Amino acid sequence: MSDVRESLEIQAVACRRLGSVQYADLLDAMVLDHDRGGPISTLLAGRTDRPVHDALPLRLLGAVHHAALDGRAPELAARFPSCDGDGGTISLTTVYDTIARLGSFVDDALGRGVQTNEVGRSLCHLAVANWLPSLGIDEFDWWEVGASAGLNLSFDRYAADTGHGILGHEGSSLTFPPSMFAAPPRVSEPARCIDRLGCDPDPVDLERDSVRLESFVWPDQVERRARLLAAIAITRPLHHRVDRASADEWIAERLADSSDSSDSFDRPAVVFHSIVWQYMAPEVRARFRDSLVTAGSRGRRLVWARMEPAGEKADLRADVWSNGTVSRHHLADVGYHGQNFDWFERPLSD
């Protein structure tokens, strides 16, 4: 099986499991077309050495959805609910015609990473802030890797109704319902975020390119898109800082900068990423991890929290350094869009 075909097949299964029938059906058609040597095999061949890890099918689908959203693909817009379309089956021929007509735009999109900035994942941020006081942490800085447009840096401006209390900002225009939780955390007074920064290899400018974020939300998932638009409206005036940088270099710089300031050194930093690890090159992952381990072992107070793939769901884990020693925790399992958030917080042994 070719890596490209595998990427199409895996993404089709994922889209169907996560409720996007339109994309699942379209991707199934692309798999069949690839098997008979159709245009999809030529279009995607050689685009990346890691089509599965780089989510190559989502790059392509994001490009055609972008064209529908900005008016360049009215034939697709007529089908996409995100464009007030009828939700009907998407013709593979129509997709190929759009790709042929917008060749350079699609080529550029296939060379750029996926930028979902999925705001459902901010449930992890809210839950971690709620959990930190149990570690004796009342104030913290938040450093997010793969922050995209910085939407999830606004996490404490959002709210989540657990059914037993509110996490975050009660009354927010972006409030997650109790149905997002399989098992919510017990709501307590959260730790307070003092400073927040992000980095991304290709950050999205909300003033100029917010449609790019919309394009990566699957067009038949109307609730996800509504959450995204609410998050954009909240975040745009806040002007969060998201540096264009590689994760390993950026975290090394942050740790060096904070060591020059006694206030920021004494205040714990939460280093967070979600569905980012797979996109990092192995040497970047190694340098990133080594920077955290070295700083934590030398006495820097750190929490390395991450939501990363663990099969059909992701898991939320945290390594906590205090006084040079580390403890490890499996905090929750969670769906890739934040759904079915299942909090259980258990310590892990080495």
Give me the half-sphere count of Cα atoms (radius 13 Å) on the Cβ side of residue 33: 19
Rg of the Cα atoms in the chain: 21
**pLDDT class for 258, splitting at 50, 70, 90?**
confident
Residue 261 has pLDDT above 90, yes or no: no
Amino acid occupying residue 205? D
> Which residues are 242's β-sheet partners?
198
Q: Environment class of residue 207 by beta-carbon count within 10 Å: exposed (0-12), middle (13-18) or buried (19+)? A: exposed
Residue 1 has pLDDT above 60, yes or no: no
Q: Environment class of residue 243 by beta-carbon count within 10 Å: exposed (0-12), middle (13-18) or buried (19+)? A: middle
> Per residue in 204-214, pLDDT tens?
999 998 999 99
Residue 270 has pLDDT above 70, yes or no: yes
Residue 2 has pLDDT above 90, yes or no: no
> Per residue in 303-331, pLDDT tens?
999 999 999 999 999 999 999 999 999 99
Q: Rounded mean pLDDT of the chain?
A: 95
Alpha helices (H) along the chain: 3-17, 21-35, 39-44, 56-69, 74-77, 92-101, 103-110, 122-131, 210-215, 222-235, 247-259, 262-266, 282-297
Please state whether 167 falls in left (phi above 0), alpha (psi between -120 and 50) or beta.
Answer: beta
Amino acid occupying residue 109? A
**pLDDT class for 116, splitting at 50, 70, 90?**
confident
Contacts with 81 (C-beta within 8 Å, 6 or more apart), sequence order: 87, 219, 220, 222
**pLDDT class for 113, splitting at 50, 70, 90?**
confident
Residue 263 has pLDDT above 90, yes or no: no
Percent of the chain with pLDDT over 70: 97
CA–CA separation, 90 vs 129, rounded Å?
A: 42
CA–CA separation, 193 vs 140, rounded Å?
A: 5
Mean pLDDT of 222-245: 96
Q: Identify the pLDDT of residue 182.
A: 98
> Per residue in 121-131, pLDDT tens?
999 999 999 99
Specify the pTM: 0.91
